[in-house]
């Protein structure tokens, strides 16, 4: 079953004071940008790529919400990436990739989902860029996480800094077999499942 994802974009007006508190987690994904003066000016030497230690770069990657359900269509994970402009930044860009680990997998591996795995760019001269992605229709049992990549782009269109982060995992547990509704018929050769014991279990 193919996973699906959704997102949308909007701009917040610049605030002189601190940012407003987040009202909660939206069912759909969103990207938010804050305008900042002078963020798009390039240095006299032009754009230059800088490899920066993680502690020196203001980025975050977060699992915002993990919803489990007996129904696959109702399972979802919401991931958020956030980055701050540095000197010489004209635009910022983020990419969220979905990773999955099944019961027999030793490590996480990248899986496809509609809308993930593509770079999303901010508008010019923003100070803070936030990108939220919700992925639905998750399989179980399995664990999911996101690899979030960050790029700072200079005035000449060149990448001047890169970073990446992993979110924590969203665990989708195995679901118990659903009891057969009263009056429903069971296909031939398939033992019925009761709510009190597993099918085929010896009686006391």
Instruction: Report the pLDDT value the prediction gives residue 35, as an integer from 0 to 100.
Output: 41
CA 9 to chain centre: 15
Of the candidate ranges 2-16, 74-88, 126-140, the one whose mean pLDDT is the lowest: 2-16
Q: Residues 72-125: pLDDT tens digits?
A: 999 999 999 999 999 999 999 999 999 999 999 999 999 988 878 999 999 998
Q: pLDDT at residue 13 above 90?
A: no
Q: Residue 64: which pLDDT band, with cuts at 50, 70 and 90?
A: very high
Q: Are 47 and 154 in contact (CB under 8 A)?
A: yes
DSSP string, 12-31: EPP-SSPPPPP----SS--E
- Angle, alpha carbons 67-70-72 (nearest 5°): 70
The alpha carbon dihedral of 116, 123, 29, 171 has a sign of positive
Neighbours of 148 (CB within 10 A): 25
**41-75 CB burial, b ≥16 within 10 A, e <16:** ebeeeebeeeeeeeeebebebbbbbbbeeeeeeeb
Distance CA(40)–CA(127), nearest Å, equals 10
If phi > 0 it is left, if psi is from -120 to 50 it is alpha, else beta; for residue 54 that is alpha
**CATH architecture entry for 4-15+23-172:** Sandwich (2.60)
Neighbours of 102 (CB within 10 A): 13
């Amino acid at each position: 079953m193919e996973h699906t994802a959704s997102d949308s974009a909007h701009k917040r007006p610049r605030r002189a004071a601190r940012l407003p508190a987040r009202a909660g987690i939206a069912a759909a994904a969103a990207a938010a940008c804050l305008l900042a003066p002078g963020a798009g000016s390039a240095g006299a030497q032009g754009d230059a790529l800088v490899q920066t230690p993680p502690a020196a770069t203001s980025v975050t990657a977060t699992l915002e919400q993990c919803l489990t359900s007996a129904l696959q269509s109702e399972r979802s994970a919401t991931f958020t990436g956030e980055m701050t402009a540095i000197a010489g930044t004209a635009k910022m860009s983020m990419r969220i990739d979905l990773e999955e680990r099944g019961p027999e997998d030793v490590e996480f591996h990248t899986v496809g989902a509609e809308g993930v795995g593509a770079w999303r760019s901010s508008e010019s001269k923003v100070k803070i860029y936030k990108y939220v992605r919700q992925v639905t229709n998750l399989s179980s049992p399995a664990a999911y996480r996101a690899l979030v990549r960050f790029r700072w782009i200079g005035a000449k269109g060149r990448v001047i800094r890169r970073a990446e982060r992993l979110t924590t995992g969203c665990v989708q547990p195995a679901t118990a077999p659903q009891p057969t509704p009263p009056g429903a018929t069971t296909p031939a050769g398939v033992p019925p499942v009761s709510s009190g014991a597993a099918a085929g279990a010896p009686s006391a």
